[in-house]
């Protein structure tokens, strides 16, 4: 069979003129070299684009950082002082005495002692002096209590402070001495009977145990008087004339004072002298610091007249002595 003629791909020959039979035929497939060079160029361009983007991002981040450094400056003491003054000018802050009162209030109790009327007939001295008048307060809350009131009279009204959350209370001995029945009223209104479990006659102190207590009873925090000094602020919290709980503020006006009762029967020593107002009914209440920590038990007021009212000097037993009456270890 006759072979067909092959034509050159260059097209350099004349049209229609056959190429020599001896000419070497050109490959029919195009060379791939130019395509490979284009691919390498495209990859390099992409890398350069991403590199440019990363460089711009870094430059932007650096400029933001510099801007933040320029806008931020260190706080000075003047800045802090100005902020504190601004707060004091615009905010109403509670007083130190209010803070002390709120901290001690859950631990303060009202103490009332009763004696039977029949005993007054048998004790002319007690009948002559007369039982303490019933202070201002709520009417009897039950028929049972009303019946008791018909058979007994109120002998003393004072204050106590819970020192152990099991219902152990410190008060003055003269508030509960000779009582046929003792009642304590807790801060939440719960009323309970109480019994005397200990006394410290030299400091006119008594320890009471309540027969029932609130579920969330809070005991007071006691503080050593070792660094207490004249001029330190204190508050007396209690039931003056049965009204309260009430708070009065003042300062410690002396340490290690002595006091003799108006009857001259007893002299107490190592007392805290203070000028926060105290009156009958404050007896047995806590004398507290501005943190609401107990430093003493209010025991007496100095008044050379028969008025038995406060004229500026009160006395409290240091809490170290008072706590010892309850068997607590010293500070």
Nearest to 325, CA basis, from 193, 175, 220, 169: 169
Q: Whole-angstrom Cα distance, residue 278 to residue 81?
A: 39
Q: Give me 272's structure tokens.
A: 């805290």
Q: CB neighbours of 296 closer than 8 A, spacing ≥ 6?
A: 225, 272, 274, 286, 287, 316, 317, 318, 319, 322
Nearest to 134, CA basis, from 154, 115, 117, 148: 154
Q: Whole-angstrom Cα distance, residue 25 to residue 33?
A: 20
Please pick, among 113, 192, 204, 275, the residue that the annotation labels catalytic.
204
Query: Checking phi first, is residue 118 left (phi over 0); if not, alpha (psi -120 to 50) or beta?
Result: alpha
Centre a 10 Å sphere on the Cβ of residue 180 and count the other Cβ atoms it contains.
14
Please pick, among 107, 113, 246, 283, the residue that the annotation labels catalytic.
283
Q: For residue 283, indicate whether it is catalytic.
A: yes
Nearest to 272, CA basis, from 259, 290, 281, 291: 259
Q: Whole-angstrom Cα distance, residue 102 to residue 214?
A: 18
Please pick, among 107, 174, 248, 275, the residue that the annotation labels catalytic.
174
Q: For residue 204, indicate whether it is catalytic.
A: yes
Q: For residue 65, indicate whether it is catalytic.
A: no
**What amino acid positions are annotated as catalytic residues?**
174, 204, 283
């Amino acid at each position: 069979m006759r072979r067909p003629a092959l034509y050159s791909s260059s097209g350099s020959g004349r049209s229609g003129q056959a190429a020599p039979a001896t000419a070497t035929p050109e490959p029919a497939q195009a060379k791939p070299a130019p395509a490979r060079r284009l691919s390498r160029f495209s990859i390099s361009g992409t890398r350069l684009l991403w590199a440019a983007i990363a460089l711009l991002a870094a430059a932007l981040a650096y400029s933001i950082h510099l801007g933040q450094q320029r806008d931020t400056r260190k706080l000075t003491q003047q800045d802090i002082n100005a902020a504190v003054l601004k707060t004091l000018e615009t905010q109403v802050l509670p007083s130190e005495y209010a803070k002390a009162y709120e901290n001690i209030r859950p631990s303060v109790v009202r103490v009332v002692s009763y004696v039977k009327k029949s005993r007054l007939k048998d004790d002319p001295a007690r009948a002559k002096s007369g039982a303490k008048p019933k202070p201002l307060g709520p009417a009897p809350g039950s028929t049972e209590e009303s019946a008791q009131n018909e058979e007994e009279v109120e002998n003393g009204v004072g204050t106590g402070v819970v020192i152990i959350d099991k219902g152990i209370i410190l008060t003055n001995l003269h508030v509960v001495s000779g009582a046929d029945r003792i009642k304590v009223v807790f801060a939440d209104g719960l009323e309970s009977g109480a019994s005397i479990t200990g006394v410290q006659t030299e400091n006119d102190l008594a320890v009471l145990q309540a027969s029932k207590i609130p579920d969330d009873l809070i005991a007071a925090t006691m503080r050593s008087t070792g660094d207490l000094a004249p001029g330190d602020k204190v508050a007396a919290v209690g039931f003056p004339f049965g009204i309260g709980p009430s708070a009065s503020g003042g300062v410690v006006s002396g340490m290690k004072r002595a006091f003799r009762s108006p009857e001259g029967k007893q002299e107490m020593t190592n007392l805290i002298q203070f000028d926060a107002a105290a009156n009958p009914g404050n007896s047995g209440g806590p004398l507290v610091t501005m943190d609401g920590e107990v430093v003493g038990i209010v025991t007496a007021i100095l008044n050379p007249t028969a008025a038995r009212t406060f004229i500026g000097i009160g006395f409290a037993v240091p809490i170290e002595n008072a706590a010892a009456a309850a068997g607590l270890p010293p500070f």
